[in-house]
C-alpha cells in the first residue's frame, strides 16, 4: 500500500490526511517507468557503467515517453504532469540505472526547471521544446573550481559588449557536459553586489568560446559525463539572459530546491535497487543449513534498509506534493534529499554486507549501487548544506 500525505495548511494549524493509495494515473505512470527500467535499463546498466557509455538511445526512448520533460506543459512538448509524477518517474528509472536516472533528473529539474520558471515564452519555445524529446539534453553550470557549496562567490564573469554578453571563467563538475546541447550557466554581472550580482544565461553547446575539460573518471554514475566548462570570451546575444539581471543566485537556489526532490528520487531508486538485491540474495543464499534470510543479523539489516528507504520516500513525496500545491517546500526538499541520499549510501553499504564476497565483485549489481549512491550525498547541495538549510528553516519557525 502506498501512503500519500496531503498537507492542508489552515492559519498555522497543520492537518494531515493520509490516503491509502497513489492516484491511479500516478500508479500507471510509475508502472510504465518501472516496466521500462526493468526491461530496457536493468539489463544494460552494468555495461553502461563499465564502459562509461551515455545511454543515448534510452534517453530518446524516455523522451518519447515524456519522461525527459515530465512537468513541461503539453503545449511545449512535455508530459504536463506534476512533480509527484516526476519524482516517481526518476525513482523508477534510477532503480534500473542510476546514471540514466541522473540524466533524467538533470534535464528535468536543473536545465528545463529554471527556464520553465523564469524564461520568456520565446525562450521556453527555443530552449525547452527541443529538449523534451530526448534528442537533446541540457546541463546546469553553477559550481566552479573555487566554489561549490559557496555558490555566492561565482568568479565566472559576464560583461556586456554592445548587443552581446561576453562570458569568461570556468565551471566545474558539470553533469551531462559532454552530451548536452545547451546549458543554464551562472556568471557575475556586478561584482560589487556580491551574490545579488549574479545572473543566469542560456548558452548553446557547442558554441565558440565554450570548450569542455576532460571527462572526470568518477566512482559512480559513470554513464554520465562530468567535466569543466571553460568560457573564453564566449559571446551570446543579450536575449540569452534568463530572468532579470542580478537574479541569478535566486534562480539557482530555487532551481536547486526543486532539483533536490529529483536527486532524492534518484537516491531512492538506487537505495531500492540495493535493497531488492539484498533481499533477493537473502532468500537464495544458504549458509548454516538455511537461507541467510532466516538469520536475525541479516533480517535486522533488511529491516533497517526498508525503514530508511520508506521514510525517505514519504519525505520526498511530501516535498513534491507541497511543491505541486504551490506551498513552501524548501525545508521538506532538503530533508528529503538528506534522508534519501543517506538511505542510498546506507543501503548500498548494507547490501554489499548481506552479499558478502559476492557483493564485492561486479557479477552482482550491489557494488555498482554502492558506488552510484555516493554522489547523491554530494551534488545539488552536500548533506552538510542540507542540514544548514533545514536548521535555517527550523530556527525561523521557532523565532516567532
Partner 1 sequence: YIVTIRVKPDHSGVVTDGVKHSMNPFCEIAVEEAVKLKEKKFIKEVVAVSCGPTQVTETIRTALAMGCDRGIHVEVSGKDYEAMGPLQIAKIFAALAKKEEASLVILGKQAIDDDCNQTGQMTAALLDWPQGTFASEVTIDGEKVKVVREIDGGLETIKISMPAVLTADLRLNTPRYATLPNIMKAKKKKIANMKPADLGVDMVSRVEVLRVDEPPTRLAGVKVETVDDLVAKLKANGTI
Check residue 80 for interaction with partner 1 (CB under 8 A): yes
- Residue 73 sits in the site that holds partner 1 (CB under 8 A): no
β-pairing, 210-212 vs 13-19, is unpaired
In the chain, the largest separation of any two C-alpha atoms, in whole Å, equals: 79
Element holding 290 (H helix, E strand): strand 290-291
Residue 36 CB, shortest distance to partner 1, in Å, is: 5
For residue 182, the minimal CB distance to partner 1 (Å) is: 22
22, 29, 187, 343: which one contacts partner 1 (CB under 8 A)?
Answer: 29
Q: Closest by alpha carbon to 137, among 165, 166, 100?
A: 100
- Window contacting partner 1 (CB under 8 A); options: 4-12, 74-82, 175-183, 246-254: 74-82
Minimum Å gap between C-beta 101 and partner 1 is 16
DSSP secondary structure of 173-190: EEETGGGEEEEEEEEES-
Q: Which of 146, 163, 164, 245 is nearest to 209 (CA)?
A: 164
Distance CA 386, CA 336 (A): 9
* Span near partner 1 by CB under 8 A; candidates 26-34, 96-104, 108-116, 289-297: 26-34
Counting contacts by CB under 8 A, is residue 57 touching partner 1? Answer: no
Catalytic residue of the set 40, 74, 380, 397: 380
> What is the C-alpha end-to-end distance of the chain, expressed in Å?
38
**How distant, in Å, are the alpha carbons of 52, 88, 282 from that of 369?**
15, 19, 17
380 noted as active-site residue = yes
Q: Which of residues 198-227 bind partner 1 (CB under 8 A)?
A: none
CB 285 within 8 A of CB 291: yes
CB of 291 to partner 1, least distance (A): 13
Site map (CB under 8 A) of partner 1, residues 90-119, x = contact? ------------------------------
CB of 294 to partner 1, least distance (A): 17
Residue choice 48, 59, 67, 366 for contact with partner 1 (CB under 8 A): 67
Q: How many angstroms separate the CA atoms of 322 and 222, rounded?
A: 32
Catalytic residues: 380
- Binding positions for partner 1, rule: CB under 8 A: 24-25, 27-29, 31-32, 35-36, 61, 64-67, 70, 74, 79-81, 85, 89
Amino acid at each position: 500500500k502506498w501512503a500519500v500525505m496531503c498537507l492542508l495548511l489552515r492559519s498555522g494549524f497543520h492537518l494531515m490526511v493520509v490516503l491509502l493509495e497513489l492516484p491511479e494515473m500516478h500508479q500507471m505512470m510509475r508502472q510504465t517507468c518501472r516496466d521500462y527500467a526493468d526491461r530496457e535499463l536493468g539489463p544494460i546498466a552494468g555495461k553502461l557503467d563499465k564502459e562509461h557509455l551515455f545511454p543515448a538511445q534510452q534517453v530518446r526512448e524516455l523522451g518519447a515517453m515524456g519522461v525527459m520533460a515530465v512537468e513541461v506543459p503539453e503545449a511545449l512538448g512535455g508530459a504536463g504532469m506534476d512533480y509527484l509524477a516526476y519524482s516517481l518517474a526518476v525513482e523508477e528509472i534510477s532503480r534500473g540505472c542510476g546514471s540514466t536516472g541522473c540524466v533524467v533528473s538533470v534535464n528535468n529539474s536543473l536545465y528545463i526547471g529554471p527556464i520553465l520558471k523564469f524564461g520568456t515564452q520565446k525562450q521556453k519555445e527555443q530552449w525547452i521544446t527541443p529538449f523534451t524529446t530526448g534528442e537533446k539534453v541540457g546541463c546546469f553550470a553553477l559550481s566552479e573550481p573555487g566554489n561549490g557549496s559557496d555558490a555566492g562567490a561565482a568568479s565566472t564573469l559576464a560583461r556586456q559588449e554592445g548587443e552581446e554578453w561576453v562570458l569568461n571563467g570556468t565551471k566545474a563538475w558539470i553533469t551531462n557536459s559532454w552530451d548536452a546541447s545547451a546549458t543554464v550557466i551562472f556568471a557575475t554581472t556586478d561584482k560589487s553586489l556580491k551574490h545579488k550580482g549574479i545572473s543566469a544565461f542560456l548558452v548553446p553547446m557547442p558554441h565558440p568560446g565554450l570548450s569542455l575539460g576532460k571527462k572526470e573518471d568518477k566512482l559512480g554514475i559513470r554513464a554520465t559525463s562530468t567535466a569543466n566548462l571553460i568560457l573564453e570570451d564566449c559571446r551570446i546575444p543579450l536575449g540569452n539572459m534568463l530572468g532579470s539581471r542580478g537574479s541569478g543566485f535566486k534562480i539557482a537556489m530555487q532551481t536547486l530546491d526543486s532539483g533536490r526532490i529529483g536527486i532524492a528520487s534518484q537516491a531512492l531508486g538506487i537505495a531500492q535497487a540495493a535493497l531488492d538485491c539484498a533481499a533477493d540474495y537473502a532468500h537464495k543464499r544458504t549458509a548454516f543449513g538455511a537461507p541467510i534470510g532466516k538469520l536475525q543479523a541479516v533480517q535486522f539489516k533488511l529491516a533497517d534498509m526498508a525503514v530508511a528507504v520508506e521514510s525517505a520516500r514519504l519525505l520526498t513525496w511530501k516535498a513534491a506534493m507541497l511543491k505541486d500545491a504551490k506551498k513552501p517546500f524548501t525545508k521538506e526538499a532538503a530533508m528529503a534529499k538528506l534522508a534519501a541520499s543517506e538511505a542510498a549510501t546506507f543501503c548500498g553499504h548494507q547490501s554489499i554486507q548481506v552479499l558478502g564476497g559476492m557483493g564485492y565483485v561486479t557479477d552482482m549489481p550491489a557494488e555498482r549501487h554502492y558506488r552510484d549512491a555516493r554522489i547523491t550525498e554530494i551534488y545539488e547541495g552536500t548533506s552538510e548544506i542540507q542540514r544548514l538549510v533545514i536548521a535555517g528553516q527550523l530556527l525561523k519557525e521557532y523565532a516567532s
